[in-house]
Amino acid sequence: MADADRDAGGALRGIRVADFSRVLAGPYATMMLADFGADVIKVESPAGDDTRHWIPPVDATGRATYFGGVNRNKRSVALDLTDAAGLAEARRLASTADVVVENFRPGVMARFGLAYEDVRALNPGAVYCSITGFGAGEGAALAGYDLLVQAVGGLMSITGDPDGEPSKVGVALVDVLTGQNAVAGILLALRERDRTGEGRLVEVNLLQSLLSALTNQASSTLATGAAPRRLGNQHPSIAPYAVFRAADRELVIAVGNDRQFRSLAGAIGSPTLADDARFGTNAARVAHRDALRELVEQALAAASARHWVDALAAVGVPAGLVNDVAEAIAFAEALGLEPVAETPEAAAVARPHRSIANPIRLAGTGAAYRTAPPALDADRGADWLPRG
């Protein structure tokens, strides 16, 4: 990729990112930056990012889809940081970077002479983002695996059937949330550098990212001293707000106020529900949620989920099918959201690499999808190492 192509377009044009991260949280963050024009140089071990080997599934090129989902628009160089020559190249890259991102366990980058203090001595303007599982203090020795954080961070305690075991979310959501926080922190630090000329240390960790994302569940715990319990797909404070079974499949109904409930009752052919004292207010509906659920599902059994989604939409009641991932992508496409990004592969591959588009829309200088996820060490060459 030529220099002119790397820098063409994007709000982050001219920003160079030395990306020492791997797996998900860090690579997700750096891909978000790369989509808006940052030149992201992905530094990998000679064995490559762990996710290169997380197969199946693979795409048309034989590349792990896990790796392919978070590494577009980047260059790859393989450096052995335990080797003097490789470490020297890494330090030189850090000395020229606007942003350095790493997600090793605390202390690892210091052993290589690439900790924040080391990079700051080489490059006072660098923004240095450190992503950890549990911070750099007492939790430094804990392994930052998403499943572990979902467990100890409380998410599993409120996810799953009330009578079943605690459940994880179906994707490494905490990693993704942490990656988003890393992007926000990096952009804040770059803005501060615009003002002062100095770089900043940005620290984010999985546990605090999750606790912040617990929002109402955490605030209720702090206010009442009582930890919330698992409710399956029901809401602790609103009813009916859950998954319901129709004649053929499930749908979600999300009633947020009394007006919507009255509309729901009429649409499903049970208008007297809105006049029942057990269901007249949201608080009453929450108290009698099980009885309400039974009555609603009796009515829904008369027709298909698609019928009810359309009927409820017509009267302003939020409802939708429980889609699988393929259906979800198709739904977004039907709404004109253009959820799939295509990036060119190597000439030998007949079709482009497809991935989910960047969710941020920025008028006038939006995301661009320039290159597919790189092969390991694909960008090593006489001129790969940027000049200061």
Separation of alpha carbons 31 and 26, rounded Å: 9
Q: Could you tell me the two tokens for 33? A: 């930056």
Could you tell me if 238 and 282 are in contact, meaning their C-beta atoms sit under 8 angstroms apart?
Answer: yes
Separation of alpha carbons 376 and 381, rounded Å: 13
DSSP state of 162: T
Separation of alpha carbons 41 and 34, rounded Å: 10
> Where would I find the H helices in 325-372?
325-334
Residue 342 main-chain phi, psi, to 5 deg = -120, 130
Q: Which of 80, 175, 248, 324 is catalytic?
A: 175
CB-based contacts of 61-69 (< 8 A; 24+ apart in sequence): 61/345, 61/346, 61/349, 61/353, 63/373, 67/373, 68/353, 68/355, 68/372, 68/373, 69/355, 69/356
Active site annotation includes 379? no
Helix 25-35 vs helix 173-196: crossing angle, to nearest 10:
50
Helix 305-314 vs helix 258-267: crossing angle, to nearest 10:
130
> Where would I find the H helices in the chain?
3-6, 25-35, 65-68, 84-96, 108-111, 116-122, 146-152, 173-196, 206-213, 215-224, 258-267, 282-287, 289-300, 305-314, 325-334
Could you tell me if 353 and 22 are in contact, meaning their C-beta atoms sit under 8 angstroms apart?
Answer: no
Separation of alpha carbons 83 and 1, rounded Å: 27
- What are the C-alpha distances in Å from 197 to residues 73, 185, 206, 369? 27, 17, 29, 30
> Where would I find the H helices in 215-269?
215-224, 258-267
Residues with catalytic function: 175
